[in-house]
Amino acid sequence: MSINASGTEGYAEAAQSLISQWQNISSDELHAAVLHLIPTRPSSVLDVGAGIGTDAAALAAMGHKVVAVEPVDEFRAAGVKLHPSSRIEWLDDSLPELAALRATTGHFDIVMLTAVWMHLDEEERRRAMPNVARLLSNGALLIMSLRHGRIPEGRRMFDVSPDETIQLANVQGLQPKLVVRSESVQRVNRRMNVTWTRLVFAKGCGAS
């Protein structure tokens, strides 16, 4: 696991059960609200907090080249095994710094932060947003999801407001294109009344 990987507490211990659980989640169902915004042309995609690679595999199947960042060793190893693809490059790194990623790669057409942002506290979120924004090409999309609801025991999570996230993004020249609130696709989360806010931002030219 990456050093100082904020928000990964409790995940390695529950890795086997979570890997089984996550294999039943459909990427298309999870991202139904934003799928129409993902380009059909082959693009470069960064998936931060890629988990076991469900989204990375779906994006690779669409013809995109994906860098899948995952700090939990167990999830990254499962992703490599479950979704072998020459279009997916796996990397051990984490927010808020993404130091390894920023040192070795360029810019991306799409950056995805699915069920990730809520693991960062307020100060970490303020540090993270500029680092994420620097990885976006002009006209690129940042796709995020924010979790709202009861926090599972042993996890480090925060209930982050969409307004705060939009303000942090605006400072970095990211303009909101979509803000949608929805229920969870996972049955266990629905029982806890967990909901999600999906946000899509565009950077610079082509943002309108």
pLDDT along the chain (208 residues), means of 10: 52 75 81 92 96 95 96 93 96 94 88 94 96 95 92 82 97 96 64 84 71
Q: Is residue 10 part of a domain?
A: no
Q: How far apart are CA 166 and CA 95, in angstroms?
A: 18
| Residue 12, domain member (yes or no) | no
Q: What is the pLDDT of residue 187?
A: 62
Return the amino acid letter for 131: N
Residue 199, in any domain of the structure = yes
The answer to whether residue 15 sits within a structural domain is no
- Residue at 18 is within a domain: no
For residue 4, is it within any domain?
Answer: no
DSSP state of 194: -
For residue 178, the cross-strand partners are 200
Which CATH number does the domain housing residue 80 bear? 3.40.50.150
Is residue 132 situated within a structural domain?
yes
> Which two three-digit tokens encode residue 126?
């303020």
Residue 32 backbone zone (phi > 0: left; psi -120 to 50: alpha; other: beta): alpha
pLDDT at 139: 94
SS3 131: helix
Q: 146: closest CA among 194, 84, 79? A: 194
Residue 175 lies in a domain: yes
| Residue 194: per-residue pLDDT | 84
pLDDT at 6: 56
Residues 67/108, Cβ–Cβ less than 8 Å = yes
Domain count, the chain: 1
Per-residue pLDDT at 175? 96
Domain that holds residue 112: 25-203
